[in-house]
A and B are shown apart, each in its own frame.
Chain A
Amino acid sequence: MARMKFICDTERCIECNGCVTACKNEHEVPWGVNRRRVVAINDGVPGERSLSVACMHCSDAPCMAVCPVDCFYRTDEGVVLHDKNLCIGCGYCFYACPFGAPQFPQAGAFGLRGKMDKCTFCAGGPEENGSEAEFRKYGRNRLAEGKLPLCAEVCSTKALLGGDADVLADIYRQRVMTRGKGADIWGWSTAYGKPDAPAQPPAAGGKS
């Protein structure tokens, strides 16, 4: 079985927020909830990079570990999903998650939390695949239709990739190899000096 993963290529993301918009529209996400967001680092200055982030569907998911009603489960493809019928809106998953993926629609006065909502890797929830109940609670189940997450599919620069980890790894490896210019490979010049720097003469008395 494939292990589903996301990867965001910082060399390609142009902070267009297309993934955010596509996700919101596809799943008809409630007002105030964003399952995906784009964050820019060094915004507007040289060295700027941006990243699209949502639920990363961790192997050792903190949300799953702290949920007091144990409403999370993992699919055969490694996607972390939750059962909104069980969720009590306590917010613990939000405290535990490093990525800020769990979101809570406001359900009453004083910030009373409704049932948690997060990225489903476009894999719906425990309800019957493609059913009305599933769509209402979790949005479209694209995986069941043989499609990949819409955020990644819609990404104009293919910075955001989502799907079988082995395939993603091959694509990313290809990119790195294509981008890399000989000895300019990541970190080499830190370890071995600049490629055009004169070679260090061997230490006197040492073996050749």
Chain B
Amino acid sequence: MKRDTTILQRALWMVCVLGALLGGTASLAAGPAAAEQAQRQQSQPLNNAPVWREVRSGEQHVTNIKGVDTGVLIQSGGQTWRTLRNGPITLYGGIALCAMVVLLAVFFRLRGPIMLSGEKTGRMIERFSTLERTAHWSMAISFCVLAASGLVMLFGKHVLLPVFGYTLFSVVAVVCKNVHNFVGPLFIMSVLVFIVLFVRDNVWRSIDALWIRKAGGLLSGEHVPSYRFNFGEKTWFWLGVVGLSMLVGVSGLVLNFPNFGQGRFVMQGASIIHVTGALVVMTLSLAHIYIGSIGMEGALDGMKTGQVDEAWAKEHHELWYDEALQSRPAETHAGSMPAPARV
């Protein structure tokens, strides 16, 4: 019993010492500015310049009102946030998206879809498993939903509001906001699954140097040999999926859950990162969607059915095709058997 009391006394003593130390630090921190004001009102009565400097500092002062940042009188970050968001981000983001659409339309007009140079063999080879395709499409669909709802939040005021009118646009915007907030975490989860599934085949290899040297054969029309993914696809994986999508995802979580008491400074920063990153990834995604659909014959089949024609595999991913043939069971090798029934 006596021992317990001693421990209690010691604990109390410790708390007192710590409290005194903390209190001392706090009063020291508040010291210089307060002392300056005290001195100033002696030398120049009614001159509150030191106090007004503190008002403008954006620091926490004392208030009885509970809440986020309630002790701050003036927070200047909002002005920067407003200037960036309403200015360059909206302007250049809009220009970038439109420019990419125009660029792809011009490219499609000039180059047309990249067709297979040889004949289709009719023999199919598995490119993406069901799990891989599910991960891809979960990510793709949630990405499109997020992109559309996000664009409404940024550009809707300028584009949709004049057409829809205030009431209808508000309904659209509130639906978009809630859809965006709930689909966001699903997108992050599908991105994580996607990264786990695809990271192995997206590691850079020495053959990628060839693809870089020939710019992917994009202009020459030449086919550059590559393993399962070429350097262009790997770049999109690392930049678009791992880099930008995670950056946008994490900043989105900060904005999505204000219940952790983040202050305005954190929110403004997260918002700028989120919007900028999202506009960049959306612009780049247009090119990915183009080449994966109308831009290249047979590309969509791989992600749609999981199967690609052997001719396609040989032309676009020769090294992967060779590997796939090697690992194939002998009886289905190189057309010794008729094409599978599902073709």
Interface on chain B toward A: helix, strand, loop, or mixed SS?
helix
Tell which of B69, B85, B153, B157 touches A70, judged by Cβ atoms closer than 8 Å: B157
Given contacts A49-B37, A100-B264, A186-B47, 18 further A-B contacts (CB under 8 A): A34-B65, A37-B65, A39-B73, A41-B61, A41-B62, A42-B33, A42-B34, A42-B37, A47-B41, A62-B82, A69-B156, A86-B167, A89-B177, A91-B258, A91-B267, A111-B257, A181-B45, A190-B47
Asked if A98 contacts B38 (CB within 8 A), the reply is no
User: Which of B9-17, B168-176, B205-213, B294-302 contacts the other chain?
Assistant: B168-176
Docked Cα-Cα span, A70 to B159, in Å, equals 13
User: Which of B49-57, B108-116, B310-318, B321-329 contacts the other chain?
Assistant: B49-57
Asked if A69 contacts B166 (CB within 8 A), the reply is yes
Tell which of A38, A51, A68, A184 touches B156, judged by Cβ atoms closer than 8 Å: A68
Q: Which B residues contact A (CB, under 8 angstroms)? A: 27, 30-31, 33-38, 40-41, 43-51, 54-55, 61-65, 67, 69-76, 78-79, 81-82, 85-86, 152-154, 156-157, 161, 166-167, 169-170, 173-174, 177, 181, 255-260, 264, 267-268, 271
Asked if A66 contacts B86 (CB within 8 A), the reply is yes
Asked if A95 contacts B166 (CB within 8 A), the reply is no
Tell which of A37, A90, A96, A112 touches B70, judged by Cβ atoms closer than 8 Å: A37
Known contacts A68-B153, A96-B82, A111-B259; is-contact A34 B67 (Cβ 8 Å): yes
Chain B contacts of A89 at CB under 8 A? 174, 177
A-B complex: 9 closest residue pairs judged by Cβ atoms: A111-B259, A47-B37, A46-B38, A42-B34, A43-B62, A37-B65, A47-B38, A86-B170, A88-B174
**How near does chain A come to B91, taking the closest CB pair, in angstroms?**
14
Known contacts A51-B55, A110-B259; is-contact A39 B61 (Cβ 8 Å): yes
Docked Cα-Cα span, A113 to B154, in Å, equals 19
Chain B contacts of A17 at CB under 8 A? 64
- A71 in the interface, Cβ–Cβ < 8 Å? yes
Chain A contacts of B271 at CB under 8 A? 95
Asked if B173 contacts A68 (CB within 8 A), the reply is yes
The A-B contact count (CB < 8 A) is 167
The closest CB in chain A to the CB of B256 belongs to: A110
**How near does chain A come to B243, taking the closest CB pair, in angstroms?**
25
Docked Cα-Cα span, A62 to B75, in Å, equals 12
Known contacts A42-B34, A100-B75; is-contact A66 B82 (Cβ 8 Å): yes
- A128 in the interface, Cβ–Cβ < 8 Å? no
The closest CB in chain A to the CB of B257 belongs to: A110
Asked if A95 contacts B33 (CB within 8 A), the reply is no
Docked Cα-Cα span, A5 to B85, in Å, equals 28
Interface on chain A toward B: helix, strand, loop, or mixed SS?
loop
Asked if B65 contacts A69 (CB within 8 A), the reply is no
Asked if B51 contacts A49 (CB within 8 A), the reply is yes
Asked if A39 contacts B62 (CB within 8 A), the reply is yes
- A179 in the interface, Cβ–Cβ < 8 Å? yes
Tell which of A85, A86, A100, A106 touches B72, judged by Cβ atoms closer than 8 Å: A100
7 contacts between A and B (CB under 8 A): A40-B62, A41-B61, A42-B37, A46-B37, A62-B78, A69-B166, A96-B79
Chain A contacts of B173 at CB under 8 A? 68-69, 88
Asked if B30 contacts A189 (CB within 8 A), the reply is no
Docked Cα-Cα span, A53 to B271, in Å, equals 26
- A138 in the interface, Cβ–Cβ < 8 Å? no
Chain A contacts of B70 at CB under 8 A? 34, 37, 39, 100
